[in-house]
Structure 1
Amino acid sequence: MNQDQYLTLEQLVGNTPLVRLQRLPGEVGTPRGNVILGKMEGNNPAGSVKDRPALSMILEAEKRGDIKPGDTLIEATSGNTGIALAMVAAMRGYKMILIMPDNLSLERRASMTAYGAELILTPADQGGMEYARDLATKMQSEGKGIVLDQFANPDNPLAHFKTTGPEIWSQTAGRVTHFVSAMGTTGTIMGTSKFLKFMNPNVQIVGAQPAEGSQIPGIRKWPQAYLPKIYDATRVDRFELIEQSDAETMARRLAAEEGICAGVSAAGALVAALRVAAEVRDSTIVFIVCDRGDRYLSTGIFNQ
């Protein structure tokens, strides 16, 4: 028997479907000649777009000889990267320590520990992700493990330059005119922008950021001191500020009207995509459906 004829789990990361929205676009869709497409990243093995950079960061570090199976890896995470890293660590034989603010959903915590990761919760009222990132750095300096650092690691956007961007280009037959993504570590928007702009400099890149006072899992606007080192402002053409209430309402509508149960950051990206659609005609607008909505059920956002 030839075992190579069967795929391993890491070979199932990426190649996610691109789905056309049928109802939500309404007057800004077909009547204006616009097509709005969601890149279904919840179809990845660990359930989010973060499977791509998690696999990339570990495999590329292995190739360089920076890490080897049996090592302990450390990462500060708001959830999806941690789940993805926990999965890849389990696949490749690493110990994984994840540091996460304590105000994030129970499903995310449970998913990380299910893969065998050690979870350290930090007080959200003492700085949230910034506090978690500082603690990861401190633990590394104490010799407790190796920090992959998704915020500064070029292998994060590299994953999207190699996979997400080419997939979108191929799936739209080069017709994509706008790419819309939530901004967290900024890896997705950086890597995908680099590829799409290489193929067609006229593709517009739109970043969704939280409006003042809004807390949307997966969408961040970082203080200058914590701005991800992989971020390059020249790769984003415009920003859309998303209200938390708008993102949560859109998450419910996306599930109830399109049958796509997705997370709040995906819904925030859709809010931005629909704003763009209201301004243009004959455009192909792709937004990232970052993860699945079942990761947020305990938050109650789907109960209203």
Structure 2
Amino acid sequence: MSDHSLRTYESILDLLPDADNPTPIVRLRRVVGFRHAKVYAKLEWYNPFGAVKDRVAANLVRDAEVRGEQLGNLVEPTSGNTGIGLAMVANEREYGFSATLSKAIPLEKRTALRLFGTDLVELDDDLCPMPGQPEGAMAKAEELGNRPGWTQLNQYANPANPDAHYRTTGPEVWRQTGGTITHFVASLGTCGTITGTGRFLKEQNPDVQVIGVHPTQGHDIPGVRSRRALALTDFFVPDEYDAILEVTDEEAYGLCRRLHVEESLIAGPSCGLALAGALRAVPDEPGVVAVVMFPDSAWKYLSSFRRHLPDLFPPEDDAPAVPANPFAAHLEAAFALAKSGPDRIDVTEASRLLDAGVTLVDVRNPEEVARTQVPAAVKLPLPDLSAGSLAGLPADHDAPILTICAAGTRSLYAQLLLKAQGYSNVRSVNGGMGAWVEAGLPATPGS
């Protein structure tokens, strides 16, 4: 039999944490600079597979098995850590596992997934998979999950996600602090951690402050979501949180570096993100006890550190390899410039121009439009536009046109395609329909 006191186990899954076998909390003494408040980091890389998402992965499988689902092959969209957890749980259970994920995920994570036996499907998507993108990781996982013998457990909509934290993280934190916790801080991704843990803690003491921290739009921190993306997240329940704070990449990576040097903690970027929010929200007062979730360690993010802490990486002598298409870098540069160029406008300006008679072109696929749409928009899916269709567009190539998609990526491609076909006045709507709906602008269910 497994014995926590001896650290002797019959199965690797017996190492999964709970109130009797918690991941550790460690007090931060140098980085925080507080005189009175106690701030603890909950070190989630002590989970058996290295991240907080091990809790979710195990609970997704446990819940499906309890409900009597016949599991054979699992598929999941992931930004990495849930995929790693599911891969290892699937190995132990002798299930197959495939992961759909963005090519922007750090190479270290993608390599780890392959090492753990995962069949990877790599796609053009955001760092954290976004709903409503037919070419993205979520849609591909749903497609694969509909095949006979396959199951998508779906961390993004499955209540077993926050339930994992209600069952384990909350009880652990409450017991580890002797019920004295006053503040709980977590970064926001699927929001299972903050919602599940927060619900448990507030049931014990309604005065516990639950604080969420998110990155800025266009961030480079895997596994977390900007405020705009959170609006499309099932377990984001802002009414249950006491504060929501935004932190820049610079703050997050800077604090992450300090955690290594000053606290000897091998923290990943989302740890710095959460701590930066905590330092703003937690008062330095006697009796304050804050616990900050540190989701995982640094080792899977070396390529991210290279971008944000370049002084750690001396120049390499070897010349870069010549790409298969020597002009591809120029196309990527053009797209990158378009992202920050003058032809992107916000949804408020787009709505005003639409009211003034400017043509709005919705380049999402029909199934997306069926969920929500701007009725006055011309519906022209990006694949049709790419194939040369101009159906519904003005004959006058000087007429002003706006392009819109789910989150603002496909609309940029549409903008470039329309300009390539002679339209001179084309602008893309930043943030897409996600930002449009979040701003409360007129939209209706599709027809």
Q: Confirm or deny a common fold (TM above 0.5).
A: yes
Could you say which structure has the larger radius of gyration?
A: 2
Gaps of 5+ in 1: none
- Alignment match, 1:116: 117
| 1:265 aligned onto 2:270 | yes
The alpha carbon displacement at 1:145 in A equals: 1.9
Q: Which residue of 1 aligns with 2:376?
A: none
Kindly report which structure 2 residues correspond to 1:154-173, keeping only aligned pairs within 5 A, or say none.
Answer: 154-173=159-178
**Separation of aligned partners in 1, 2:178 and 2:262:** 27
Structure 1 match to 2:98: 97
Query: Which sections of structure 2, spanning at least 5 residues, go unmatched?
Result: 312-447
TM-aligned CA distance change 1:152 to 1:125, over 3 Å: closer
Residue of structure 2 aligned with 1:174, choices 155, 170, 179: 179
In the TM superposition, 1:49-198 aligns within 5 A as 49-68=52-71, 71-124=72-125, 129-130=130-131, 131-143=136-148, 145-198=150-203
* Alpha-carbon contact 1:182-1:218 (below 8 Å) kept: no
CA–CA distance in 2 between the matches of 1:58 and 1:141?
17
**Corresponding letter in the other structure for 2:51:** S
In 1, are the aligned partners of 2:44 and 2:52 still within 8 Å (CA)?
yes
Name whichever structure is richer in helix by fraction: 1
Displacement of 1:4 after TM fit?
Answer: 5.1
Counterpart of 1:201 (choices 200, 206, 224) is 206
1:250 Cα offset (Å):
0.9
Aligned residues: 296
Is the CA contact (8 Å cut-off) linking 2:215 and 2:248 kept in structure 1? yes
State how far apart, in whole Å, the 2-side matches of 1:278 and 1:4 are. Answer: 42
Matched residue type, 1:83: I
2:256 counterpart SS class: helix
> Structure 2 residue aligned with 1:48, among 48, 51, 55?
51
Matched with 2:37 is 34
- CA distance in 2: counterparts of 1:197 and 1:247, whole angstroms: 27
Q: Distance in 2 between matches of 1:74 and 1:195?
A: 29
Cα separation, 1, equivalents of 2:224 and 2:58: 21
Contact kept in structure 1, 2:219 and 2:226, CA below 8 Å: no
Following superposition, the deviation at residue 295 of structure 1 comes to 1.2
CA separation of 1:148 and 1:292: change in aligned 2, threshold 3 A = same
Q: Is 1:76–1:129's contact at 8 Å kept on the other side of the alignment?
A: no
TM-score (norm 1): 0.91
Change (3 A) 1:208 1:226: closer
Give the letter aligned to residue 79 of structure 2: S
Q: CA shift at 1:183, angstroms?
A: 0.7
Show CA shifts across 1:7-27 (max 9, x none): 12111112100000110011x
Q: CA deviation at 1:278?
A: 4.6
Q: Does 1:277 align with 2:278?
A: no
Name the CA distance, whole Å, in 2 between partners of 1:93 and 1:4. 21
- Looking at structure 2, the residues matched to 294 and 127 of structure 1 have their Cα atoms a distance apart, in angstroms, of 19
Structure 1 residue 93: deviation in Å?
Answer: 1.0
How many Å separate the matches in 2 of 1:234 and 1:125?
26
Q: Does 1:220 align with 2:220?
A: no
Distance 1:125 1:179, change over 3 A: closer
1:18 to 1:217, Cα distance in 2 relative to 1, 3 A: same
Structure 1 equivalent of residue 249 of structure 2? 244
Structure 2 distance, partners of 1:167, 1:52, is 12
* 1:256 alignment counterpart: 261
Q: CA-to-partner distance for each residue in 1:35-79, whole Å, 9 max, x for gaps?
A: 0100000111110000001001001101111133xx111100001
Aligned partner of residue 48 in structure 1, secondary structure: coil
Return the letter of the residue paired with 2:280.
R
Change (3 A) 1:250 1:37: same
User: Which residue does 1:19 correspond to in 2?
Assistant: 26
**Alignment root-mean-square deviation, CA:** 2.1
Preserved contact between residue 105 and residue 127 of structure 2 (Cα < 8 Å)? no
Mapped to 1, the partners of 2:96 and 2:56 lie a distance apart of 18
Kept in 2, the 8 Å contact 1:208–1:219? The answer is no
Report the Cα offset of residue 228 of structure 1: 2.8
Q: Is the 8 A contact 1:101 1:129 kept in 2?
A: no
Verify: 1:290 aligned to 2:295, yes or no: yes
**For 2:32 and 2:215, how far apart are their aligned partners in 1?**
22
- TM-score (normalizing by structure 2): 0.63
Letter of the structure 1 residue corresponding to residue 269 of structure 2: V
Q: 1:144 to 1:136 in 2, by over 3 A?
A: farther
User: Are the structure 2 counterparts of residues 112 and 126 from structure 1 closer, same or farther at C-alpha, using a change threshold of 3 Å?
Assistant: closer
User: 1 or 2 for the larger relative contact order (CA 8 Å, sep ≥6)?
Assistant: 1
Identity across the alignment (%): 38
Deviates more, 1:199-208 or 1:115-124: 115-124
C-alpha distance in structure 1 between counterparts of 2:89 and 2:265, whole Å:
26
**Cα distance 1:98–1:53, how it changes in 2: closer, same or farther (>3 A)?**
same
1:84/1:222 Cα in 2 relative to 1: closer, same or farther (>3 Å)?
farther
More deviation in 275-284 or 261-270? Answer: 275-284
